[in-house]
Amino acid sequence: MPFSHKMQKSHMFSTFYAPRGRKRIYELGMQIAQLYLSPFDQIIGVVGEAGSGKSALIKGMFPGLELTNDDDGVNVRPLPLLEQDEETGFFSPHTYHLDIRFEMGFTSAPVLAEAILKAVHRGKRVIVEHFDMIVPFLNRNANLLIGVGEEILVTRPNLFGPEPSEIYDIVHKSLPYRLMAHTAEDLIEHFLSYEDMKRAEHDDINHGFILSFKDRAPKVDLEELERKANELIAQKVPVCYLDEGHVTIGGKPHACTGPRTHVSSTGEIIGFRLLKYLIYDSENKRYLIVGCIGEDSEENLRNVTKLNVAKMSKVEHPYGF
């Protein structure tokens, strides 16, 4: 059930894993809107790096909203927010969107800030990407502030913060782990059989990933999978966006649900490790491959085992590997 406006006044932070793939980010955006968005919110501030999924999250929160920096390269001109005086009457927009980093290439920050405040004064709602860049010119915070990195942070600032720069610092530092994890996940998929790759589903853990397989275990040798993935990492092969359903790994196409969320080279992946056995999730009847990245990947894998030992069981190489 959505929070009431009174309940939201006491809301400090909510944290979600930033999911892989456009569909899952859309779904999370819908969930965030249902739980935290108030009809009284006039400025929605979104912070995070380019390629972190801010636009996809906004599309999930506000279905049908025309983004002025569409991912397909269609940029709305002139910027509707700057044309408010021309849009009057019944058919004038209620919600505006702008990307501050992009728009500052065409319009000065003070002019953009003035337009945002004018819209708010007229009772409109404004969704602002890279909100941290415009705050010094607004002299006010957002009603709802969202940061997108490895995790998605949702907060309702008050007089004492948090400031957009604080949220940006958190998500800016965490995003590389998400990029490394998504790329490492694709490297593992790259070496699965075609059948297992097609039925693999994605889940999230801190500084890592989960590949899940419903009903039956994948035919894998986990030590061999880790070795092959680390060989590609050592070769520093390029990872490139191909289209909305594929990346290329070393020039070879690979199906991917989140093609914009990767490191540019496998050599940027640090400390990749796989858990050397499958975990069986009896509640959901699925088998899990668990991988971690980062300097503390081995410790994270130990924690995964400790945290899930009560609900999940270890599966020792069901195909004899």
Contact 281, 312 (CB under 8 A): yes
Per CATH, 5-162 and 176-315 having the same topology is answered no
Read off the DSSP letter of residue 192. S
Is the pLDDT reported for residue 92 higher than 50?
yes
| Percent of the chain whose predicted confidence (pLDDT) is above 90 | 70
Contact 289, 280 (CB under 8 A): no
**Region 133-148 average pLDDT:** 96
Q: List, for residues 264-291, the tens digit of each pLDDT value.
A: 999 999 999 999 999 998 889 999 999 9
* Nearest of 267, 68, 319 to residue 58 by alpha carbon: 68
CATH code, 176-315: 3.30.980.10
Q: Report which secondary-structure segment, H or E, holds 280.
A: strand 278-281
* Nearest of 203, 205, 164, 207 to residue 284 by alpha carbon: 203
Contact 250, 175 (CB under 8 A): no
Lowest mean pLDDT among 155-164, 181-190, 200-209, 307-316: 307-316
Read off the DSSP letter of residue 152. E
Spell out the domain ranges in the chain: 5-162, 176-315
Residue 158: φ, ψ to 5°: -125, -165
Distance of CA 186 to the CA centre of its chain: 16
CATH code, 5-162: 3.40.50
* Nearest of 192, 185, 203, 148 to residue 266 by alpha carbon: 185
**For the whole model, what pTM was predicted?**
0.87
Contact 289, 321 (CB under 8 A): no
